[in-house]
Amino acid sequence: MSKPIYVLNGPNLNLLGVREPEIYGYDTLADIESRCRTRLSGTGTDLVFRQSNHEGELIDWIHEARESACALIINPAGYGHTSVALLDALKALSIPVIECHLSNPQTREPFRHHSYVSLAAKGIVAGFGPIGYELAVQAVLAMLKA
């Protein structure tokens, strides 16, 4: 079996479905994980799906992904706008990195228009709600085939 795709989720995403549903929707993080697993069904590729409110734990998982993953999808949430440490960890990866956001940060407050994570990402999926994670998985699968 090939290495899994890591999907890492940053702070407050554990509150999906109840926190600002007018922006983030009503799907929970478990719903999104289920969507991703369904998308991978029959591909022979597994998924490691995690969430943390702690920057250091996300960094540890990124380090783990260096050896254990075939690609990384990350929704850094608020850390995308603030964390040079996440950027530095992501820059150490030789696997594809996709940045994923439920909302479109470019249509929100000005401080959300910049993402450090984008500097290390092969691509960005934003503004499509929960289906964006499925699009990110599809993009990873296409990159791995190429």
DSSP element (H, E) containing 123: strand 123-126
Quick one: pLDDT at residue 107? 60
The tens digit of pLDDT for each residue in 8-47 reads: 999 999 999 998 877 778 899 999 999 999 999 999 999 9
- pLDDT higher than 60, residue 1: no
77 Cβ neighbours under 8 A, 6+ residues apart: 9, 10, 11, 12, 13
Task: Indicate the pTM of the whole model.
Answer: 0.93
Other Cβ atoms less than 10 A from the Cβ of 17: the count is 15
How many whole angstroms separate alpha carbon 98 and alpha carbon 124? 6
Other Cβ atoms less than 10 A from the Cβ of 76: the count is 27
Quick one: pLDDT at residue 109? 62
The tens digit of pLDDT for each residue in 38-81 reads: 999 999 999 999 999 999 999 999 999 999 999 999 999 989 98
The tens digit of pLDDT for each residue in 86-143 reads: 999 999 999 999 999 987 776 666 666 678 998 999 999 999 999 999 999 999 999 9
Q: Which residues are catalytic?
A: 24, 101
DSSP element (H, E) containing 101: strand 97-101
Quick one: pLDDT at residue 131? 95
Residue 126, strand partner residues: 101
How many whole angstroms separate alpha carbon 92 and alpha carbon 108? 30
